[in-house]
Structure 1
């Protein structure tokens, strides 16, 4: 039994007052499918649970301790790196490791929580008795949440110490507000937008298990699940880019050499065509290679097309026109449907902008157009919008065409 005077118990109190810590843990569990997620205080000689989300009866609650030498978190602390194990049995490093055998897990992820003074405070970790896929987006999600937790701990220490000058205090307050807003926005999206496609896939898999489904019905279910997974992928990609930008990394552009962009755009259009209810008519005329980031411009087009699919008339085609004109790369995406009011157009490229006039099923994440606009800016370009009953809604990218 720990003494109430035990100094490490203060760590439990600090984490308990982190806003939405329960939602953070649930979001991590949703992203990885792992049943136990925890924030752990890890020192050289101690490992203590500060907060946990337990759906597999792992049995650790705040204040519970493990022998730190028996955990992989001690290795994370020593190496200051993320450790991921999708499948213990297929891992050359951890197949015979004593920790998975001792605690009975087959998948694991742990990310260090690094304070502003560069010290390792602890870890954000998760495990499950079954193997689980851990992709790059899940690692980024854990990393961002670990940074948010570290910022909150820093903020608490600053308030307790009370050593800031008035100007520094104001800056700290602004940082606190920005962090709180980011956390609230981040959690709200993960808790709603990301869970919807996951629920759709889960429901589809359950229906596929029923033996009386016709081949046509099964094909329809598979298509719906593909649409849901495409939506989830777009949400995660945009969310990671937004969070990186808010944490100071910004939109990265990698354009080392000229590249033929036409195949990139055709691939993106093909992917959207597989999941869109509308037909997509495209015209691409790019006669020469251009210096640009192909992955980012593909993401930009995917976001514009995803927006057109979500908000366009399902019975009218989406028109894509991409060409080089007057030393500019010009790419437009047009859909038919209810025009966007001028007052709404003014805020379309702001993060978390949603058209409240749309029915709930069509309200998007509110990051796709923002990320697209930031990618355009990173290429010294911009995206404009026009919308009318007669011509439909058109988003147009214009950026310098940097030839080979």
Structure 2
């Protein structure tokens, strides 16, 4: 990244961590027909590439710079409004402008990426050497994409600020006193600071999906929607996990299982709706009373299905079973095409409770919560993999255990 100052290095890395940026750039190129699109950090002195999609071989990579004076983006930043045209050489304002001639483009759009305080982080821009149709409704759609990016960058900034304050709190208050305060702050961030930007992102993506889109554009929108749903699920899991840490155990609300069939069936329907292009074969038959927490068991079932979907190939066949047999509840979710071995290591690690004094390995939080729920019901989450695919297995007694095991001690996982 050359001689970028640390704060600009951090901005480039921050945008690079956002999983939605490639999808946003794909949508932008397909909406406009332009073959170069980028997210740029723009200050009063510098123009820096953060992420790029380039089928023109324009040559820019993250961290690369252009002289600010040779771009339209400084004007976009100063005026806080978009610049766009479809045919530079015939445009009454831009036909004599040096930038299109310098970089060899005819069509162009640049819109500001705004943060919550109204400041401009940078621009979302696209260009092409060929003329393209560029009108006000199209610019409005691109501004919605920039709004989505602004919300995600703001959320990332909040998370970084929270982490900094957490480190300071540990130093000032000591480990024990800081932990309680940090848990409260963390739960607050999950419940408000992260959910609010997600709601804004959902609104933007939903507005984009209203219009008639090509198959490719629709695919990119659906990919964004899946990412947003996955982010919501992870926030739910993390919030649950943090509350469990706060109490030192996972609380279960035992019932007689009368609502378990409906809860599991609903999770199947929600998973199918969230991943409409996935082939999901499901069989749910709860014919015996199950003394357990229906909401938690449904959460576990959903987590297993989601992992079977997202950890494998997009076209994989998923088979899900939840049945009662001879006094046992058996749950099995399989990706019949299997999951890559390098991901299996993470998934296996996620099913274990880790002992104090050992470093916590990389885990999938949703699957880790599923393992905790299984253990709280005196069951066990197992993973098998072979020629018939990769399967998640849980089996537990339908009757409530005599020990009335309602609590799972999570303290050993916090080392």
Q: TM-score, normalised by structure 2?
A: 0.46
Larger Rg computed on CA atoms:
2
Q: TM-score, normalised by structure 1?
A: 0.47
